[in-house]
């Protein structure tokens, strides 16, 4: 195993296990006034991701190795569509598997997350914890399993982005940027796992460990994404395209809607624009 892959495994481990584990730890000490901060953080991360996808991954998929972009365009469109569709499907599975366990879509608990408590179901748990311990445990474990499945293609995104990196760009290229952003994206997901587990009576340290373990598939996905991207020029194009589609769904299907719903203000949009600008600086500076 070459040194580059070992570093990628370490970086992805921090993003996957560290990100979800941090979210689990944060949820234990969460403050009610943190909604606006999380909203801006999600918007900023979405902006940087968007810049990396549009100005780096897709462009490289179309033009790397001096290829004619018109010849690669159908492959890139197909790979992007598959990446987007797969993440969308996994998120749909998460919604269907977690919502029925504890009914929380009603006039008091709408499906959209208007604040951080609703995003992680903390308000719901405070209201309904009562004698539903088993349901809360099931909800937490199902959420952990679903997010573990969700983390696998996100790991592929990081691995695919690293296929163009050298030892000199391991900590500065788009792969590292995406690893950091996916780690940030995993924080609220980790919170969503830990909250019901702790509410059902599980010890906090055990709930955080289970939450962190749900990030392990990120590492497996990174290894696969990196391997696919190094087989041939075509597989690299497919890997980069898949990564782009997956990230586009994360941005437009998760980060931006959550950011805006959590804080109905113009500032989340400003955070997105700042994120795009920062992403362009990272890529072109």
Share of the chain above pLDDT 90, in %: 27
* Chain mean pLDDT for the chain: 80
Report pLDDT digits (tens) over 169-215. Answer: 677 778 888 898 888 888 878 887 887 788 777 888 888 999 999 99
Minimum mean pLDDT range among 67-71, 130-134, 151-155, 262-266: 130-134
- From the list 18, 2, 27, the residue with the least C-alpha distance to 219 is 18
Domain boundaries, the chain: 10-284
Cβ-based neighbour number of residue 58 at 10 Å: 20
Lowest mean pLDDT among 19-28, 137-146, 208-217, 274-283: 137-146
For 49, other C-beta atoms within 10 Å of its C-beta total 29
Give, to the nearest 10 degrees, the angle between helix 69-98 and helix 233-249: 40
Contact (CB, 8 A) for 167 and 4 = yes
Q: Distance between alpha carbon 212 and the CA centroid of its chain, in Å?
A: 14
User: Are residues 147 and 94 in contact, defined by beta-carbon separation less than 8 angstroms?
Assistant: yes
Nearest Cα residue to 169 out of 247, 66, 283, 65: 283
pLDDT of residue 34: 65
**Torsion-angle region of 202 (φ positive above 0: left; ψ -120 to 50: alpha; else: beta):** beta
Taking alpha carbons only, the member of 252, 223, 241 closest to residue 156 is: 223
d(CA 39, CA 196): 22
């Amino acid at each position: 195993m070459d040194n580059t892959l070992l570093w990628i495994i370490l970086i992805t481990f921090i993003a996957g296990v560290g990100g979800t584990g941090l979210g689990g730890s944060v949820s234990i000490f969460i403050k009610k006034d943190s909604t606006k901060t999380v909203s801006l953080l999600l918007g900023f991360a979405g902006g940087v991701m968007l810049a990396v996808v549009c100005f780096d991954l897709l462009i490289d998929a179309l033009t790397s190795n001096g290829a004619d972009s018109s010849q690669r365009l159908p492959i890139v469109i197909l790979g992007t569509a598959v990446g987007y569709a797969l993440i969308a499907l996994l998120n749909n599975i998460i919604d269907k598997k977690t919502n029925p366990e504890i009914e929380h879509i009603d006039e008091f608990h709408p499906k959209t997350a208007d604040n951080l408590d609703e995003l992680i179901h903390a308000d719901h748990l405070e209201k309904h914890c009562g004698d539903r311990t088993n349901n809360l445990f099931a909800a937490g474990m199902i959420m952990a399993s679903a997010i573990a499945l969700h983390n696998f293609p996100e790991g592929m995104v990081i691995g695919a982005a690293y296929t163009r990196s050298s030892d000199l760009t391991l900590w500065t290229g788009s792969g590292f940027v995406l690893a950091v952003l996916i780690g940030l994206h995993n924080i609220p997901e980790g919170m969503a796992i830990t909250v019901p587990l702790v509410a059902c009576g599980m010890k906090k340290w055990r709930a955080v460990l289970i939450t962190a373990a749900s990030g392990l598939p990120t590492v497996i996905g990174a290894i696969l994404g990196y391997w696919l991207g190094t087989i041939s020029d075509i597989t690299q194009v497919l890997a980069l395209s898949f990564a782009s589609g997956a990230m586009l769904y994360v941005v437009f299907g998760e980060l931006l809607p959550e950011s805006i719903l959590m804080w109905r203000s113009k500032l989340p949009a400003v955070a997105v624009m700042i994120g795009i600008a920062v992403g362009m600086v990272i890529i072109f500076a």
